[in-house]
Each structure stands twice: as C-alpha cells, then as structure tokens.
Structure 1
Amino acid sequence: MRINRILLSSALVVIALVVQVTVLARLHLPGAVPDLMLLVVIGLTLVYGHTSGALIGFGAGLLADLAPPADHATGRYALVLCVIGYLVGLVRPESGRLRSATVPMLVVVAAAIGSTLLYAGVGSLVGDTAARHVGLTGLVLTATLYDLLLAPFTVPLIMALARRTENDPLAGEGPATLGGGGEGAFPRLGGQRGGLFGRPVRRQGRVKGVRRL
C-alpha cells in the first residue's frame, strides 16, 4: 500500500473506532450497534480494491479487537473485516468509479448481513453463544438497518477522501501514476509506451524543432 493510503486509512479507522466506542456503543439501541468501522472499510475498499481492502479490514478489525471494552477473542473481528474487505473489493469496477449510488447501498446491506453472520459463526466456533441468546435474526435486521441509515452520511465522504489520495500527483506508484497497473481508481493516461497524452517515445534522439518536456 502507498504511504498516502496508509495515512488516510489509519486516520479514518482511528476516528471511526473512537466514535464507535464513545458515541454509538452508548446509544443503547435495540439489537445491534451501528458499525462505523465496517462502513469505513467499505468506503475505502470501493476505491482501493480488494487487496488493500483486506489489509485495511484486518487492521481495523484487530484494532477493534484490542480496544476496550472488547469482550471477545482477539482476531475475531479482524478476520470478519478482512473477509468483508476482500469481498467488497471484488465488486469494485475497473475504473474505480461507481455510476450509481445504489451500488454502495447494496454493498452496505450485503456487508452488514455477511459480517453479522460471519461474526456469529466464528463466535460459535470459539464457544461464544451470545448471538444465539440475543437472537441472530434480530441482530441481522437491526445491524442492516442501522448501517444503511448511517451509510449515506459516511461512505460517499470516505470514498471522496480516498479518491483525492489516488489523484495525488506526487505519488510514485499505483493508480495515480501514468501507465501504472495495479488496482487504482483512475484509468491510465496514454498508452504503455506513449506516456502522458500518448506522447510517443523517441528512440532516435531529439526531433529538431520540438521542445522536450
């Protein structure tokens, strides 16, 4: 991952965790808690792609596992967000730009359902039956509802911030570079040999009368 991706992702994940623990978790809403960490992972992954999404998801989940008042096995949420980040990245278009706002909302719904079921499934493997006592159906429905209500205020903003880092002209690799391969958010300018605006590579020396850039 490029340094600008790491810095932005780290800042957003830390902010999301603080808001999650200090605000959302204290609302005492019925059922699940709105998952701001999940929405941050979704927003970043829809721009950066599945590889970065898996790494961001793992890091965000591990941080949530270690932050108090976590009462579950360390690595459990890291596994969940890593898998969700990878799967969300697979639906990202090649250009990295979504033509409709419907797609992110559908992704949020699928991710909310998938993360809740996966979290409960991993919990059952390690002997945590809390979801069974609370009611898995109620958790899935409330988690999906809360995340869907919160998504329009968070996911577009996160994606806009992520695209700004991808458009950094000082970046040395990835999608913002000219002719770069990778999982970037912007198409390449020019051909593989043409460089900027398709400018041909001159192999036979300087062309007289043409100033070299």
Structure 2
Amino acid sequence: MRFNRMLLSAALVVVALVVQVCVLARLQLPGAVPDLMLLTVLGLALVYGHVGGCLVGFGAGLLTDLAPPADHAAGRYALVLCVIGYLAGLAKPEKGQPRTALGPMLVVVAAAIGTTLLYASVGALVGDTAARHVGLVSLLFTAAVYDLLLAPFVVPGVMALARRAENDPLAETNSSGGSGRTTTDVSAGWLSSGTGLRLGGRRTVLRTKAVKVRAARAGRIKGVKRL
C-alpha cells in the first residue's frame, strides 16, 4: 500500500474506533450495535480492491480487539474483518465509482450479515456461546438494519476521501517519471535552446547556400578561361 493510502486508512480507522467505543456502544440499542468500523473498511475496500481491503480489515479488526472494553480473544475480529474486507474488495467497481447506490448497499447488507455469522462461528470454535443466548436471528436482523441506516452517512464519504487520495497530483507527477518524461524534457530543452533540429536545419541551409556560391564562382571562372 502506498503511503497516502496507509495514512488515510489509519486516520479513518482511528476516528471510527473512537466513535464506535465512545458513542455507538453506549446507545443501548436492542440487538446488535451499529458497526462503524465495518462500514469504514467496506468504503476503503470498494476503492482499494481486495488486497487493500484485506489489509485494512485486518488492521482495523486487530485495533478493535485490543481497544477496551474488549471481551473476546485478540485476533477474532481481525480475522472476521480481514475476510470481509477481501470479499468486499472483489466487488470494487471497474471504473472506480459505482453507477448506482444499489451495489454498495447490497455489499453493506451482505457484509453485516456475513460479519455476524462469521464472528459467531469463530466464537463457537473458541467456546464463546454469547450469540446463542442473545439470539442469532435477532443479531442478524438488527445488524443489517443498523448498518444499512448508517451506511449512507459513512460509506460514500469514505469512498470520496479514498478516491481523492488516489488522485493526488503529487503522486501522479512522481509516478509519471521515467523515460517518457525524460524524453519530453530533453526534446523541449533542445528546441527551447535553439539547437537540435532547428540548428540542423540552419546548417543545412547554410551548406546549400555555400554549394550554390561555389558553383557560381566555378562557372564564372570557366567562362573567363573560355574567353
């Protein structure tokens, strides 16, 4: 990942974690909790692709695992968001920007349900049965509804920031260096300095004039001899 991607991803993940822990986790909503971290990972994955989404998801999940009040084993949510970020990155639009909002909304619903199922499955493997007591069906429904309601305020903004970082003019200038730019600069320098083709053309004209002068002089000399 490039430096601007890493910097933007880290800033967005930290802000999402602070809002998640300090605001959303204290709302006492029935069922699941709105997952702002998941929506941030989805927005970045839809711009950066599956590899970037996988890396961002793993980092965001690991940070969530370590942030208090963590009540599960470290690495559990990192695994979940890593897989979800990879799968969401596969749905990246070909031209970088979706034509309609239906595609990202479907990705949000699928990711909310998939995250809950995968998190509960990993918990069952390590002996965590909290999802059974709360009710898995209720968690799936509330997670999809909460994330879908919050997505229009988060995902488009995250995608817009990620695209703006991708279109950084400084990065484009640095990445466009090489033989093409060197050739252009050299040719421009040659033309602006009055050398190269222009100088060669002047030399050709001067040589042509010199040949004509010599031919005229030779003709005059021959004419004198004949006289």
Q: Distance in 2 between matches of 1:102 and 1:89?
A: 16
Give the structure with the larger helix fraction: 2
Is it true that 1:115 corresponds to 2:115 in the alignment? yes
Q: Does 1:85 align with 2:85?
A: yes
The 5 A counterparts of 1:33-182 are 33-171=33-171, 177-178=175-176
CA deviation after TM superposition for structure 1 residue 45, in Å: 0.6
Q: How far did residue 95 of structure 1 move?
A: 2.2
How does the TM-score come out when normalised to structure 2?
0.77
Question: 1:116 & 1:171 partners in 2: Cα distance?
Answer: 38
CA shift for structure 1 position 172:
6.2
Alpha carbons of 1:177 and 1:98: their partners in 2 closer, same or farther (altered >3 Å)? farther
- Report the secondary structure of 2:169's partner residue: coil
Q: Does the C-alpha gap of structure 1 residues 91 and 178 become closer, same or farther in structure 2, counting only changes over 3 Å?
A: farther
Q: TM-score, normalised by structure 1?
A: 0.82
Residue 25 of structure 1 aligns with which residue?
25
> Match of 1:170, SS?
helix
Identity of aligned residues (%): 73
Q: CA deviation at 1:43?
A: 0.3
Number of residue pairs matched by the alignment: 188
Work out the CA distance in 2 between the residues paired with 1:60 and 1:208: 58
> For residue 11 of structure 2, what is the aligned residue in structure 1?
11
CA shift, 1:101, in A, is 1.0
How far is the alpha carbon of 1:177 from its aligned partner?
Answer: 4.4
Q: Write the distance in 1 (CA, Å) between the matches of 2:157 and 2:93.
A: 18
Amino acid across the alignment from 2:25: A
SS state at 1:50 partner: helix
Separation (CA, whole Å) in 2 of partners of 1:178 and 1:54: 27
Q: CA deviation at 1:94?
A: 2.6
One-letter code aligned to 2:163: R
Report the structure number with the largest CA radius of gyration.
2
Deviation (angstroms), 1:171: 1.6
SS in 2 for 1:4: helix
Encode CA deviations 1:20-75: one digit per residue, 9 max, x unaligned.
00000000000000000000000011001110100000000000000000100100
Partner of 2:208: none
Unpaired runs of at least 5, structure 1: 180-192
Task: Evaluate the alpha carbon distance shift between residue 178 and residue 50 of structure 1 in structure 2; reply closer, same or farther with a 3 A threshold.
Answer: farther
Q: Distance in 2 between matches of 1:171 and 1:58?
A: 26
Distance apart, 1:178 and its partner CA = 5.0
CA-based RMSD? 2.3
- Structure-2 residue corresponding to 1:190: none
Q: CA deviation at 1:93?
A: 2.2
Q: Structure 2 vs 1, CA of residues 153 and 122 (structure 1 numbering), >3 Å: closer, same or farther?
A: same
Q: What's the CA shift for 1:130?
A: 0.1
Q: Separation in 2 of the partners of 1:35 and 1:164?
A: 24
1:61/1:172 CA distance change after superposition, 3 Å: same
How far apart, CA to CA, are the structure 1 residues paired with 2:67 and 2:172?
A: 34
**Counterparts of 1:106 and 1:208 in 2: how far apart (Å)?**
60
